[in-house]
Amino acid sequence: MTGKEYTSLYRKSKDKAYDALFAAYCDYVYAIVYNKLRSTASREDIEECVSDIFADVFFGYDTESDHEGDMKGYIGTVAKRRAINAFHSLTARKGRIADDAEEELVNMGSDTDIEADSDKAETRSILIKKISELGEPDSTIILQKYYYDRSSSEIAKLLSMKASAVRMRAARALEKLRVKLADDGIRL
């Protein structure tokens, strides 16, 4: 969701703007908060922190700005800061020394980066949606060529087309896909 889309929704209906914001970024915010608080917080604490983040964004975002880009960076920053504050608050409440707990959080080993995985999943979802919007046979050609790594002649047999036609359609479909993704701020 872009700042412009959010501002437009906000001006029409604050409730709809909040619902759209929550629907678009709930998983992303939850992943950030969970990653920061999983060692110290209960599920209820994590969910409360997520709610607080959306309240911060809703009441703190400048709807008078002309920002047209994606709100993800802003929301991610608010989420990280709020989660770190919640971490400090929870560790102080539990009687731990906050410095030791923070060091534990920083040194906590994990092979997975939940935020990066969330970003990749979101990008994949958008990519699949945009490919399907190309229509047939273009979407099939793109998937077969770039996902299944099939040659133009193999795809031609599958679709009862000539290999040269598959190559031409693939080039055109790829260009259409680039334009569609660029509209969403994604570059190949």
pLDDT at residue number 174: 86
Question: What is the pTM for the complete model shown?
Answer: 0.48
DSSP class of residue 8 equals H
Residues of the chain with CATH 1.10.1740: 3-110
Position 57 scores a pLDDT of 82
Residues of the chain with pLDDT under 50: 97-98
H or E stretch at 161: none
Residues 6+ apart with CB under 8 A from 51: none
Sign of the alpha-carbon dihedral angle for 153, 157, 159, 162 = positive
Q: What is the pLDDT of residue 110?
A: 53
Residues with Cβ within 8 Å of 78's Cβ and at least 6 positions away in sequence, in order, are 53, 56, 57, 60
- Where are the CATH 1.10.10.10 domain residues in the chain? 118-183
**CA–CA separation, 106 vs 65, rounded Å?**
35
Q: Which helix (H) or strand (E) holds 65?
A: none
C-alpha pair distances (Å), 183 with each of 68, 89, 108, 133, 178: 12, 41, 38, 14, 9
| CB-based contact 54:46 (threshold 8 Å) | no
Q: Which amino acid is at 52?
A: D
Count of residues in the chain: 188
CATH match of 118-183 with 1.10.10.10? yes
pLDDT in tens, 32-52: 888 888 888 888 888 888 888
Q: Which fold, 3-110?
A: Rna Polymerase Sigma Factor; Chain: A (1.10.1740)
- Residue 97, pLDDT score: 47
**In 3-state terms, what secondary structure has residue 132?**
helix
Give Rg (Cα) of the chain. Answer: 22
User: For position 98, what pLDDT does the model report?
Assistant: 46
The partner residues of 22 in beta bridges, in order of sequence, read none
> Among candidates 178, 76, 82, 68, which has minimal Cα distance to 130?
178
